[in-house]
């Protein structure tokens, strides 16, 4: 066989070089064409948020998350404050975003924007993440419902003594509380008017459900006592306590949800539960050898009245009815660790006032002093003497003693307790506490420092002092036969002194005759005006001064009995 040789046509070297150059240019062009979308895409995603992304018209594209958040906040500031036009049914309304918790969650919105992938060379609009307080929004909208609404009757079973009384459901018209939040978050900043329709409201539980609840739970629950078997013994809950604690009410959607109010049941059966429960005791401060020490807390145990087994047992018709319930730990409300951080370490200030032994007012002074002992005033708290002690009554051990009433010295329950108020005020004054409310006496009594003293009347005049220190203050009191002392323990901040001004506008007392069965004679006292400055010092350096001033009325010389004949009356004082 013959061999056929094929040869390429001869191409000159110059022509070959030109053809090769054209081929290279073609390859480069095709490569650039293929890479162009990728390059554009890479440029679009050069930052956290792709270029071309907008939120409510605010351009956040091509930015880091932090920059996008700043741009979005700045761009929406004015819009977020603008009132929102709304309609509740047919009634127009205006909502303030801040009043209903409407706001844009900027960080969440930026994350949504960062996840967007716009088409190259185009933009993408991203919806904001909107939050609202549904409860506040619902309340605000209900103010505009008016006659369009007719509240439904929610089903329930209540007790008249031990007799279950059914409350049957009835439909109404109003706002769907579950829908209003979604309407607001979906439309705010994107719709000119938010429309909240008025709809039919049909309770989820029916009349049949109410009758079933009466039959299966309410009636057997109060038919007999319930015996609780606890690890520490049996407790019998009377039917009256069960009726007072069984809650057969519906939720906001009208669905009946039976429950046992553990707190109400505990209160109603307190005497029976006390036989098996061990109450906790809080950690507390005590004063030992003139220093505050902490007595640690002790935990207790209580019957678990929230056990689901309790509600199940109330459905039983067995006699006697019994259910086993556990005991659970009853934690102390205040621990030694908490008290140890309050800075109550040493005496801060102390003050003593004297009284005449054996008078009825001494009983009241001691009674109030004992009621105040151990009071802890935490940082930032305001102490109220009236709130702490309560009304001064015979049942609390107070007796009738002289006190100022309508300008006269009358016998009243708790007369004389202003001596304790004055002693507390002076100790607080020396500790540097903030004076919130105090009232000096209308007459001056020389057993108290002028101006820096206080009277109290329950329901009318109080002594209130704020602890503006970063540490707590503990009140301790002590009485002797002729004195009461109040000491505050904590962390000392200031050295306090008083600069007095002179007494001015001195007025002499007049003589007043009283023909009253409970008259208390007095010697009378001058009236005057005086000011005093509380001087705050630290390390010998004066920090500031606080002015106190008061005008005392002259205390009349009260004489018990009828006035003498005109000829024998003493000449008036001048």
For position 247, what pLDDT does the model report? 96
Same domain, 242 and 265: yes
At residue 424, does pLDDT exceed 50?
Answer: yes
Q: What one-character-per-residue DSSP string does 46-91 give?
A: SSSS-TTEEETTEE-TTS-HHHHHHHHHHHHHHHHHS-EEEEETTE
Distance CA 548, CA 439 (A): 11
For position 574, what pLDDT does the model report? 46
Same domain, 499 and 561: yes
Could you tell me which of 524, 410, 534 has the C-alpha nearest to residue 465? 534
Listed in sequence order, the residues at least 6 apart from 164 whose beta carbon sits closer than 8 Å to its beta carbon are 157, 158, 214, 218, 219, 222
Same domain, 245 and 141: no
* Residues 372 and 477: beta-carbon distance below 8 Å: yes
Q: Is residue 369 part of a domain?
A: yes
pLDDT grade for 573, boundaries at 50, 70 and 90: low
Residue 65: both structure tokens together = 């998350």
pLDDT grade for 36, boundaries at 50, 70 and 90: very low
For position 29, what pLDDT does the model report? 44
For position 536, what pLDDT does the model report? 97
* Residues 396 and 390: beta-carbon distance below 8 Å: yes
For position 130, what pLDDT does the model report? 96
**Directed axis angle between helix 134-142 and helix 180-187, to 10°?**
100
At residue 446, does pLDDT exceed 80?
Answer: yes
For position 522, what pLDDT does the model report? 76
What would the mean pLDDT of 206-231 be, rounded to a whole number?
A: 96
For position 401, what pLDDT does the model report? 86
For position 408, what pLDDT does the model report? 65
For position 530, what pLDDT does the model report? 97
Q: Is residue 168 part of a domain?
A: no
Distance CA 571, CA 411 (A): 30
Q: How far is CA 253 from the centre of its chain?
A: 28
Distance CA 367, CA 370 (A): 5
When divided into structural domains, the chain yields a total of 4
119 or 105, higher pLDDT: 105
Same domain, 237 and 355: no
Position of tokens 């490569």?
31
For position 63, what pLDDT does the model report? 94
Q: Is residue 351 part of a domain?
A: yes
Q: Is residue 155 part of a domain?
A: no
Same domain, 437 and 551: yes
For position 31, what pLDDT does the model report? 45
At residue 1, does pLDDT exceed 60?
Answer: no
Could you tell me which of 448, 463, 548, 540 has the C-alpha nearest to residue 498? 548
For position 569, what pLDDT does the model report? 56
pLDDT grade for 13, boundaries at 50, 70 and 90: low
pLDDT grade for 272, boundaries at 50, 70 and 90: very high
What would the mean pLDDT of 303-312 be, rounded to a whole number?
A: 92
For position 123, what pLDDT does the model report? 82
Residue 564: both structure tokens together = 């003498």
| Angle in degrees, CA 345, 350, 353, rounded to 5 | 155
Percent of the chain with pLDDT strictly greater than 70: 89
Name which of 136-145, 307-316, 404-413 the model is least confident about: 404-413
How do residues 318-347 score in pLDDT, each as one tens digit?
Answer: 888 999 999 999 999 999 999 999 999 999
Quote the domain boundaries for residue 357. Answer: 342-568
Domain boundary among 339, 358, 387: 339
CATH value at residue 310: 3.10.20
At residue 17, does pLDDT exceed 90?
Answer: no
Assign 450 to helix, strand or coil. coil
Same domain, 346 and 335: no
Q: Is residue 199 part of a domain?
A: no
Distance CA 314, CA 521 (A): 68
Q: Residue 50: what are its φ and ψ, rounded to 5°? A: -65, 150
pLDDT grade for 22, boundaries at 50, 70 and 90: low
Same domain, 28 and 102: no
Same domain, 133 and 277: no
Assign 483 to helix, strand or coil. strand
How do residues 539-558 score in pLDDT, each as one tens digit?
Answer: 999 999 999 999 999 988 88
pLDDT grade for 378, boundaries at 50, 70 and 90: very high
Same domain, 322 and 243: yes
How do residues 481-520 score in pLDDT, each as one tens digit?
Answer: 999 999 999 999 999 999 999 999 999 988 888 777 777 7
507 or 522, higher pLDDT: 507
Distance CA 88, CA 194 (A): 9
* Residues 427 and 350: beta-carbon distance below 8 Å: yes
Same domain, 122 and 235: no
pLDDT grade for 117, boundaries at 50, 70 and 90: confident
Distance CA 138, CA 159 (A): 31
What would the mean pLDDT of 53-57 be, rounded to a whole number?
A: 93
Same domain, 350 and 335: no
Domain boundary among 148, 171, 186: 148
How do residues 177-208 score in pLDDT, each as one tens digit?
Answer: 999 999 999 999 999 999 999 999 999 999 99
Q: What one-character-per-residue DSSP string does 155-214 give?
A: PEEEEETTEEEEE--B-EEE--TTTHHHHHHHHTTTSSSEEE--EEE--SS-HHHHHHHI
Assign 573 to helix, strand or coil. coil
Q: Is residue 192 part of a domain?
A: no
Listed in sequence order, the residues at least 6 apart from 413 whose beta carbon sits closer than 8 Å to its beta carbon are 392, 393, 394, 398, 399, 400
Q: Is residue 285 part of a domain?
A: yes
**Average of per-residue pLDDT values in the chain:** 89
pLDDT grade for 60, boundaries at 50, 70 and 90: very high
Q: Is residue 120 part of a domain?
A: yes
Same domain, 424 and 552: yes
CA distances from 74 to 60, 63, 112 (A): 11, 14, 18
pTM check: above 0.85: no
pLDDT grade for 537, boundaries at 50, 70 and 90: very high
Domain boundary among 132, 148, 164: 148
């Amino acid at each position: 066989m013959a061999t056929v040789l094929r040869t390429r046509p001869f191409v000159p070297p110059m022509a070959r070089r030109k053809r090769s150059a054209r081929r290279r240019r073609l390859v480069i062009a095709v490569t650039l064409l293929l890479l162009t979308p990728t390059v554009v895409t890479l440029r679009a995603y050069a930052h956290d948020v792709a270029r071309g992304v907008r939120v409510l018209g605010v351009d956040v594209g091509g930015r880091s998350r932090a920059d996008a958040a700043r741009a979005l906040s700045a761009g929406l500031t004015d819009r977020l404050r603008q009132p929102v036009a709304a309609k509740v049914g047919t009634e127009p309304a205006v909502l303030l975003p801040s009043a209903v918790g409407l706001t844009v969650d900027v960080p969440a919105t930026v994350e949504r924007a960062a996840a967007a992938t716009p088409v190259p060379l185009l933009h993408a609009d991203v919806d904001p993440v909107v939050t609202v307080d549904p409860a506040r929004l619902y309340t605000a909208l209900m103010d505009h419902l008016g006659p369009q609404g007719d509240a439904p009757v929610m089903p329930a079973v209540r007790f008249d003594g031990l007799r279950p009384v059914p409350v049957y459901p009835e439909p109404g018209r109003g706002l769907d509380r579950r829908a209003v939040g979604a309407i607001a978050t979906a439309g705010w900043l994107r719709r000119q008017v938010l429309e909240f329709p008025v709809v039919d409201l049909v309770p989820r539980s029916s009349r049949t459900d109410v009758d079933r609840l009466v039959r299966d739970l309410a009636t057997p629950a109060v038919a007999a006592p319930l015996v609780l078997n606890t690890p520490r013994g049996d407790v019998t809950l009377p039917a009256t306590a069960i009726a007072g604690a069984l809650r057969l009410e519906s939720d906001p959607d009208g669905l009946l949800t039976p429950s046992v109010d553990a707190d109400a049941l505990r209160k109603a059966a307190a005497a029976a539960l006390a036989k098996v429960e061990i109450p906790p005791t809080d950690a507390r401060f005590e004063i030992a050898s003139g220093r505050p020490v902490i007595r640690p807390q002790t935990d207790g145990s209580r019957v678990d009245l929230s056990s689901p087994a309790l509600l199940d047992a109330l459905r039983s018709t067995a006699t006697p009815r019994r259910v086993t319930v556990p005991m659970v730990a009853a934690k102390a409300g205040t621990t030694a660790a908490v008290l140890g951080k309050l800075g109550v370490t040493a005496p801060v200030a102390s003050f003593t006032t004297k009284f005449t032994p054996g008078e009825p007012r001494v009983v009241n002074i001691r009674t109030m002093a004992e009621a105040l002992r151990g009071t802890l005033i935490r940082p930032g708290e305001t102490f109220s003497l009236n709130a702490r002690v309560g009304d001064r009554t015979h049942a609390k051990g107070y007796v009738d003693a002289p006190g100022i009433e309508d300008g006269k010295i009358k016998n009243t329950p708790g007369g004389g307790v202003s001596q304790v108020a004055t002693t507390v005020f002076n100790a607080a004054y020396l500790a540097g506490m903030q004076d919130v409310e105090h009232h000096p006496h209308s007459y001056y009594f020389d057993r108290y420092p002028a101006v820096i003293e206080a009277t109290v009347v329950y329901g009318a005049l109080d002594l209130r002092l704020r602890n503006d220190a970063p540490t707590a203050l503990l009140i301790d009191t002590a009485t002797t036969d002729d004195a009461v002392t109040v000491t505050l323990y904590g962390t000392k901040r200031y050295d306090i002194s008083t600069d007095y001004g002179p007494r001015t506008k001195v007025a002499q007392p007049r003589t007043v005759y009283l023909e009253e069965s409970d008259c208390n004679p007095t010697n009378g006292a001058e009236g005057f005006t005086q000011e005093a400055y509380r001087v705050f010092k630290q390390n010998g350096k004066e920090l500031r001064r606080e002015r106190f001033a008061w005008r005392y009325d002259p205390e009349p010389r009260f004489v018990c009995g009828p006035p003498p004949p005109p000829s024998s009356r003493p000449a008036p004082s001048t």
